[in-house]
Amino acid sequence: MDKIKRWISCFFDFRFEILALILVWIVFGGNLFSGTIFHDILFPISVFILIGASITMVKNERKGILFLFLTFAILMFFIALGVNFTQWRSNLKMIALIIPFVFFVLLSIEVFRQMLLEKNVTHSIIIAAFDCYLLLGILGATLFTIIIHFNPNAYSNIDGSINVFDKMLYFSFITLTSIGYGDITPVTPLAEKVTSFFGLIGHFYSVVVVGIIVGKYVAK
């Protein structure tokens, strides 16, 4: 038991670094394997590992936060079972998008909150800021995929035969970084407004994070 506690304590000390590794794998892991293998097998496993990491990450926080993350872990587990092993796969697809979206929102808030509580400018606060940025990109991809679920023509150059989430993940990050290659563009009014708002969030986040890190450094 003591050994397990030491492992958990060690994990908590390096929680931002471990979270960064999992998120980088989720974002870029699809380039190393075929689409079917990654999205049907490795991606769900990665999300479950992320859920487990998030539960350990909030072990020292309020019981309400821990209970919230445990609840989402259970929900996502049963949804994954329903999507993969039941006849209601198509009916659960929307729920399978909304639940992870809410989970990533909560995880982003928690990582950002813990980053704010760091008193010194260390490598942990830099990694936490990187984690939040990756989570924003995944949030955007999930949100854009939800929009496409309701309207397949909401974005241009989206082929239904490919993995939509992959394309939206790419589009999400080029929107956050304001690169805007123009290969994928919003077509409907809702898609245009959501994409514009998400681009504003990317700029706002960059300014806020730089301000927080510089402020902590100067204060110290």
Q: How confident is the model at residue 133 (pLDDT cuts 50, 70, 90)?
A: very high
Number of domains, the chain:
1
Per-residue confidence band for 131, with pLDDT thresholds at 50, 70 and 90: very high
Domain housing 169:
2-219
pLDDT tens per residue across span 1-56: 566 666 666 677 788 888 899 899 888 887 777 667 777 777 777 877 887 777 77
For the entire predicted model, the pTM comes to 0.85
Distance between CA atoms of residues 155 and 170, nearest Å: 13
Residue whose pair of structure tokens reads 């956050």 in the numeric block: 176
What angle do the packed helices 2-13 and 43-57 form, to 10 degrees? 100
Domain at 91, CATH number: 1.10.287.70
Residues 118, 123, 126, 127, CA torsion sign: negative
For the record, the structure tokens of 132 come out as 């939040």
The pLDDT mean for the chain works out to: 80
